[in-house]
């Protein structure tokens, strides 16, 4: 029997109806649905609730929300190498590509194995602070170093593979995967990169100079960013969801993670058509 873990976004009211449809579809199928006991109670599905999801033998994860919800699920399942897919009730849906109009058909595909598991680059970040280096976490989209709300611009020193590149005076810098090229990096002026390309993007945020340009480097390179700012309000975030405070003098190291994230995709989904529909509309 296949075990599917469901991760609904409790802040989206549409999740309630989606959970009802999932419950109805799998009611007579040889599938075990599990979710955290807290969320199972919220969605009136106490029979799905378990005390500790980490102790369950999960075959795949399904998020209900937008791309952000799926990113969080991917990071949660990363160490166990469990594949995940997303039901899109968000605004865009580059990753969470099951649309509501096709929900039951896609659930059937999941049931019979009619899907592919694609590998997406994950980046990890660590920081050396006051002589001690510690691991911080993983990102599927990006790692962002940025200033706080009212602080002054940052002074950041960039090195790649121990080679000095440049000093940035900017609001921050984004190190993104190709998957994350259509997220924050795109808004900051970075290029769109097909997620099958093994690359990392380095995109400065609002640089106070005309010669600071986005860079594309192999995903085997290591990026090193020195924090030269004198103020204290500096943050590092993974996928815009997990945040850590940085200090002047800290050095951040960003590199490809040991393993990729496993994302479930369906054979009739075309990346370029999705890109066209999501960014430029159906013209």
Please give the positions annotated as active site.
67
Judged by DSSP in three states, 190 sits in: coil
**Cβ neighbours of residue 67 under 8 Å, at least 6 residues apart?**
86, 88, 90, 92, 93, 94, 95, 96, 183
Alpha-carbon span 264 to 147, nearest angstrom: 35
CA 128 to chain centre: 24
| 211 SS3 class | coil
Report the C-alpha dihedral over residues 107, 62, 25, 46, rounded to 10 degrees.
Answer: 170
Backbone angle region of 225, left / alpha / beta, with phi > 0 → left and psi within -120 to 50 → alpha: beta
Q: In 3D, which of 67, 102, 100, 101 has the Cα closest to residue 85?
A: 67
Per 3-state DSSP, the chain is made up of helix, strand and coil in percentages (nearest 5) of: 25, 40, 35
Cα–Cα distance for residue pair 280/49, rounded to 1 Å: 41
Strand-pair partners of 176: 142, 201
* Maximum Cα interatomic distance, the chain, rounded to a whole number of Å: 62
Alpha carbon 130 to its chain centroid, in Å, reads 29
């Amino acid at each position: 029997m296949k075990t599917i873990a469901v991760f609904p976004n409790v802040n989206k009211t549409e999740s309630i109806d989606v959970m009802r449809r999932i419950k109805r579809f799998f009611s007579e199928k040889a599938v075990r649905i599990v979710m955290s006991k807290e969320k199972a109670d919220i969605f009136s599905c106490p029979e799905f609730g378990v005390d500790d999801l980490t102790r369950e033998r999960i075959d795949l994860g399904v998020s209900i929300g937008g791309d952000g919800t799926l990113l969080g699920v991917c990071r949660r399942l990363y160490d166990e190498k469990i594949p995940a897919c997303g039901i899109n009730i968000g605004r865009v849906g580059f990753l969470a590509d099951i649309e509501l109009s096709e929900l039951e058909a896609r659930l059937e595909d999941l049931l019979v194995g009619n899907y592919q598991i694609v590998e997406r680059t994950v980046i990890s970040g660590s920081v050396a602070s006051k002589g001690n280096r510690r691991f911080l976490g993983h990102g599927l989209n990006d790692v962002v170093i940025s200033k706080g709300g009212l602080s002054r611009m940052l002074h950041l020193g960039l090195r790649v593979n121990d080679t000095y590149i440049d000093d940035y005076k900017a609001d921050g810098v984004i190190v993104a995967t190709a998957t994350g090229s259509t997220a924050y990096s795109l808004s900051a002026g970075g290029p769109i990169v097909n997620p099958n390309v093994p690359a990392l993007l380095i995109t400065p945020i609002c640089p106070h100079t005309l010669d600071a340009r986005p860079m594309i480097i192999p995903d085997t390179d290591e990026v090193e960013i020195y924090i030269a700012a004198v103020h204290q309000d500096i943050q590092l975030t993974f996928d815009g969801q997990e945040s850590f405070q940085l200090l002047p003098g800290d050095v951040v190291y960003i590199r490809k993670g040991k393993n990729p994230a496993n994302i479930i995709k369906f054979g009739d989904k075309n990346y370029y058509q999705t890109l066209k529909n999501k960014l430029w509309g159906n013209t």
